[in-house]
Structure 1
Amino acid sequence: MMALLLGLATVSTRAQNDTLRLKNGNVLHGEIKGLVTGVLTMETPYSDDDFTIDYEEVSGLSLERQSIVILAGGRRVVGNLRSAADGEVTIRTEEEGTLTVALEELTSLQQVKRRFLNRFDGYIDLGFNLTKANNNRQFTSSIGIHYRGVKWIGDFDVSTLRSERDEVAKVERNSGTLALTYLLSDKWYVLASTAFLSNTEQQLDGRWSLRAGPGRFLAISNRLVWGLGAGINYNVENFAGQEFDIESTEAFVTTNFNMHGFGDFSLNTRLDFYPSLSESGRIRADYLLDVQYDLPWDFYVKTGFQFNYDNQAIVEGSQFDYILTSGFGWSFD
């Protein structure tokens, strides 16, 4: 029993080894969880709640774990942080050696979690609408699992929509994406993804896509990330009434804009443009917009909009399809 208690004490001590010095002379010991929008969050052994501290009041800090740091101007650095003098911090990195910068240069800070499984987070949200007119019923659901490492970023997202009403054909829409991003530097990355989409509005029984290409961050800070990518996309499609799959190749241009840290609001939007390389004159486009408001205990409400365009959809189908959803969800890590 004593050995177990000593082991637990050792684990607790290791998890609480970060140090934070304030301009008023106070020194706090605990675990620095992160820096977002000018607010530093710290967990301490002598409080049940995390401390939130105005970053302007910090004169020095030392972190035990490796951290991902965003500096002013969008530069991304990974390393160990320690302040040797007030007002500055030294970052020991594997790729760039030792850097010494002013504390005010740090705009975002996130510690790298040691355990692989702890680097995952996710969400689940549901929505349901019921109206008396025509006995209209609509159900939406989505789930996502995300991975954040030093060099790799992974995203897996699935969403479904079912809509039924009397004397009208059932409407269905299913989509899923598995995406991997490898960070080459603080600005450049390589992206690869596979996606699936089916919807009754465009008479699309299923489209499997596989794409890859380079990308670049146009802007990155503690409040927003904006990236631009391009490459090649390969499709396998099957439309209603067709006996054979259709294979095609496209170029693609994609841009993604993510904002967070504006109070409890966050926004994510993405635009994909696909000019065909194998089918003359064909152009497709996909657009996504999600606006989320965070609630206590990791719950949230979210409104989403998705739009799909294809100028060479089959005769029975529409050239475009869109959905507007709202729902209640829970995020976990």
Structure 2
Amino acid sequence: MELQIPYRLGQTLHVLLFFFVSTALCAQNDSIKLKNNDLLVGEIKTLNKSVLVFKTSYSDKDFNIDFDDIISISTTGLCVIHLTNRTQITGRMKPLAPHKARIIDKDGVVSEISIQDIIRLEEIDEEFWSRFTGAFDVGFNLSKTNNNRQLTYTGNLKYSSDKWSSAFDFNVLYSERDNAERIERKTMSLAIQRYLKQWYISGEISYLQSTEQGIRNRITPAAGAGRLLIASNKLFWIVGTGLTYNIEDFFDSQLNKRSTELQLITQFDMFNFENLNFTTKVIGFPSLSERGRFRVDYNFVLKYDLPFDFYIKAEFTLNYDNQPAVVGNFADYVFSSGFGWELK
């Protein structure tokens, strides 16, 4: 028996088939070519820290590809492309020759580049939620001596677009042992940056609580500017300066005070060295309203990437104040290690 499909139903099926095929093809117009001549077709989600995240229709998991293994790139959507000469171009990229590409910006201006000069690439026509990245890790230490118990957890959530980025970070420590007071230390920060080629302007508000230094709450809003000195597929180095207003409430309320400080920042990143990433950041706060006072915040992070976006991490954080509220407690520091997962 021959199966007959009504004419109108047949037309509808053809239209639906055309729609789904067209949608699938449009969603897979980006392409990359690897050193071994493999060609991948799909969607470039992001390139950051020398790792390109690539999505295909035939895999449930995104591919994380070492950028050194890529010899050509083609994109259909608008991308923000950050280069090693500390400039950025918004446009579409087409292959020109192995390791070469041309970028066609929104005004039709064509620029020719080496793809090894790309340090970051982001598609700006992605969905809003896909622009978020983040990480969370937790660590726990237990020792028989004095029944010592320590819990740490840290995390971050970041958002980026063609000209703006923002980040929220937190780091929490709880420590208890027999015959001793409970130790608590909490830090949080919310920052936003506006890129101006190799320069940026920023605003930030940070929070600290430290029982070791007698600080109930330290809230520090800040504003400043900085410059990217080194940018490559392996290294970043930035410097910056700004002003802060320090709002400090101590467990001894008689010590509460307000002050104005200069902010001096330097940050150095090394990444994707055989899955090893290293970040160190130093912020100095010479006081403008308290004679002779100087504070330092220091952070060191060593992270090793594991499969499926997991990682292990070691972190050291130091807060120094040469005029502490608790006499003799010039510094508070935390060393922690943990296991975590990244949202990419």
295-304 vs 15-24, greater mean Cα deviation? 15-24
Task: Give the counterpart of 2:181 among 164, 169, 174.
Answer: 169
**Normalized against structure 1, the TM-score is what?**
0.88
| Cα displacement (A) at 1:20 | 4.0
- In 2, Cα distance between the equivalents of 1:54 and 1:318? 46
The correspondence of residues 6-17 of structure 1 with structure 2, limited to 5 A, is: 7-17=19-29
Q: Does 1:181 align with 2:210?
A: no
110-119 vs 257-266, greater mean Cα deviation? 110-119
Task: Give the counterpart of 1:200 among 211, 230, 240.
Answer: 211
- Tell me how large the CA RMSD over aligned residues is: 2.9
Matched position secondary structure for 1:83: strand
Deviations 1:57-91 (A, max 9, x none): 73x43201222334344443332112356664221
CA contact (8 A) 2:214 2:326 kept: no
2:334 maps to 323
| Cα displacement (A) at 1:55 | 5.2
Q: Structure 1 counterpart of 2:260, which letter? A: T
The correspondence of residues 122-271 of structure 1 with structure 2, limited to 5 A, is: 122-185=134-197, 187-243=198-254, 245-271=256-282
Deviations 1:250-271 (A, max 9, x none): 0110111122111111111110
1:90 maps to 102
| Cα displacement (A) at 1:30 | 2.6
214-223 vs 62-71, greater mean Cα deviation? 62-71
Deviations 1:159-184 (A, max 9, x none): 11010000011111011000111101
- In 1, Cα distance between the equivalents of 2:215 and 2:104? 52
Matched position secondary structure for 1:168: coil
CA contact (8 A) 2:51 2:67 kept: yes
108-117 vs 147-156, greater mean Cα deviation? 108-117
Between the aligned residues of both structures, percent identity stands at: 37
* Structure-2 change in CA distance of 1:47 and 1:327 (3 Å): closer
Q: Which runs of 5+ in 2 are unaligned?
A: 1-11
Higher alpha-carbon Rg: 2
| Cα displacement (A) at 1:331 | 1.0
Deviations 1:197-249 (A, max 9, x none): 01011111110000111100011111122110101000110112115741110
| Cα displacement (A) at 1:121 | 1.1
Q: Structure 1 counterpart of 2:167, which letter? A: D
Q: Structure 1 counterpart of 2:112, which letter? A: T
Q: Which runs of 5+ in 1 are unaligned?
A: none
Deviations 1:11-62 (A, max 9, x none): 432220123457888755333455567776654445667485875773x432
2:294 maps to 283
Q: Structure 2 counterpart of 1:214, which letter? A: A
- In 2, Cα distance between the equivalents of 1:194 and 1:39? 30
Deviations 1:276-295 (A, max 9, x none): 01111110010001111111
**Normalized against structure 2, the TM-score is what?**
0.85
* Structure-2 change in CA distance of 1:135 and 1:16 (3 Å): same
CA contact (8 A) 2:118 2:233 kept: no
* Structure-2 change in CA distance of 1:330 and 1:13 (3 Å): same
- In 2, Cα distance between the equivalents of 1:61 and 1:206? 49
247-256 vs 111-120, greater mean Cα deviation? 111-120
Query: How many residues align structurally?
Result: 331
